[in-house]
Amino acid sequence: MNDHRGNAIRQCRDLEARCIRVGHEIGQRWAHEWANDLLDKRLPGTFYDHWIAELTGFVQRREALALGVAA
């Protein structure tokens, strides 16, 4: 497993857990499916980079709102 693919999988697993904590079920499912797709190795390791970044930003905003911090 190359470093980028491994990092992307770890990011997806982290996002999955964070989505569960903020109650974002769709994001949790996406992150889970992306990690599984990357583990399958049929897709390039960079395939979901854009979506991982988008979901990370969304989750960060939800976490900030949950803490009462202006996002």
* pLDDT at residue 70, as a whole number: 58
Angstrom distances, CA of residue 47 to CA of 1, 38, 43, 67, 71 = 15, 8, 6, 32, 28
Residue pLDDT, tens place only, 17-64: 999 999 999 999 999 999 999 998 888 889 999 999 999 999 999 999
Angstrom distances, CA of residue 12 to CA of 18, 45, 60, 67 = 10, 12, 14, 22
pTM of the model: 0.84
